[in-house]
Structure 1
Amino acid sequence: MTPERIPLDTLLTGRAVPYTRPGSLSAIAKSPRTGSLEVGPLGLLDDEQGDLRVHGGIEKAVHYYPREHYAAWLAELGPNARLEQPGAFGENFSATGWTEWNVCLGDRVRVGSVLLEVSQGRMPCWKLNDRFAVPDMALRVQQSGRTGWYYRVLEAGRVRAGDVLQRLERPFEEWPLARLSGVLFSREVALEEIRQCLELPLVPSWRRTLERRAEHAVVEDWGPRLVGTPPAGQNPR
């Protein structure tokens, strides 16, 4: 059972700055904020994204990452400075009680005066590899299912740390994000599962991906997303 109400423990924002690879920018390094922040259609007003082709936008306005996943990562990776405080994964919301296994696509959530809707799970990319200094971190995140997710903003307003996240509606209770991501991140082309997914209100990028798989019966190459172009002197793994 999903708790209907959980406290928002930490609210975070970040600025886009030069990142690890030539020409790259990232705002993955986010810091806790106090006080009330404005939330509009593109997310927290003081927040930025480094590459608007694949981050941010209406469908990825607010990023949530479950705080309880940090313990699992520490157990897997060992001590890591990034995991000492919230914000390691570039999240805007850090809280405990909701995970990909008990949050569903389309869940509507009120927090502060803002109304949000779960739009999609996160598709991890190579920036996580560089942030954690773990060459296959993005792949680990994908395979673990501990990806976090995004909200779209249905009603703008204000939010602060300590506000309560309250689930108001659950139109697709049979589709927790873990199930949906299990289809998206599968190496098998399971046509019946894909057909069921395509009946859901998927974001356009996920819909195109699954439509192509169904049409061509092949899974796309994940290398550019998971590995990218390695920094000078490093080889992809």
Structure 2
Amino acid sequence: MKIVSTNIGERKIINWKGTEIVTGIFKYTVNEPIFLDTEDVKGDTICNRENHGGILQAIYGYSLKHYGYFKKMHPNLDFEMGIFGENLTLDDLDETKIHQGDTFKVGEAVLEATIPRNPCLKLGVRFNDMKIVKQFWNSTFCGVYFKVIKTGFVKIDDVFEQIKSCPENPTIADLYVADRTEKGL
């Protein structure tokens, strides 16, 4: 896996069907290295600390390969990097092969895979179409949240080098499917 885009966002207020939504999901690519800190990316805005950021959800990674799947369903949308709210867009992140606890060295940082990302209203706001939430749930293309074991800078073209494997643990996709089943979706 290799980083193809590093993304951060600013606080944005959106009027969604008469309701004011405050969000940081509108990420954009930055060309300079970004600093992965213990609870978030320095310079990135997290508006909902209850569900994003923190020790277990400090960094969100998403696969560029998944973009094509959703582009077919949303052909008129501009799919810029970071559209899924990810901090790191990776060339080939596969949730069915990454286990909870797998650890990677990337750039100056060390990251541990923790949990999948469950879609919420703000993904629908970002896509300007709530259908994406169900479409996201109906795939295993959930992305991966990472815990930061060692803080540091990462940049475009940095490679994820796996330094610990935990095949005894469930994959991120397994956890996602279990979440979906538990929620009755």
TM-score, structure 1 normalization? 0.72
Matched, 1:45 2:45: no
Give the conservation status (yes or no) of the 8 Å contact 2:107–2:159: yes
3-state secondary structure, aligned to 2:160: strand
Of 90, 93, 99, the match for 2:88: 93
Q: How many angstroms apart in 2 are the aligned matches of 1:181 and 1:221? A: 12
Q: Which amino acid aligns with 1:172?
A: P
- Corresponding residue for residue 113 of structure 1: 108
- CA shift, 1:34, in A, is 1.6
State which drifts further: 72-81 or 26-35. Answer: 72-81
Of 118, 122, 139, the match for 1:123: 118
Q: Unaligned stretches of 5+ in structure 2? A: none
Give the conservation status (yes or no) of the 8 Å contact 2:101–2:169: no
Matched, 1:140 2:140: no
Higher relative contact order (CA 8 A, sep 6+): 2
- Corresponding residue for residue 75 of structure 2: 78
- CA shift, 1:172, in A, is 3.1
Q: Which amino acid aligns with 1:77?
A: H
Of 161, 181, 184, the match for 2:179: 184
Give the conservation status (yes or no) of the 8 Å contact 2:118–2:142: yes
- For these two proteins, the number of residue pairs brought into alignment is 183
Q: How many angstroms apart in 2 are the aligned matches of 1:220 and 1:173? A: 25
TM-score, structure 2 normalization? 0.91
Larger helix share, 1 or 2: 1
Of 143, 147, 154, the match for 1:159: 154
- Corresponding residue for residue 52 of structure 2: 55
* Structure with bigger gyration radius: 1
Of 26, 29, 33, the match for 1:32: 29
Q: Which amino acid aligns with 1:63?
A: Y
Q: How many angstroms apart in 2 are the aligned matches of 1:138 and 1:67? A: 18
Q: Which amino acid aligns with 1:88?
A: I
Distance 1:143 1:121, change over 3 A: same
- Corresponding residue for residue 64 of structure 1: 61
Distance 1:55 1:19, change over 3 A: farther
Q: Which deviations, in whole Å up to 9, do the C-alpha atoms of 1:61-84 show, x marking residues without a partner? A: 111111011111112332312x2x
3-state secondary structure, aligned to 1:69: helix
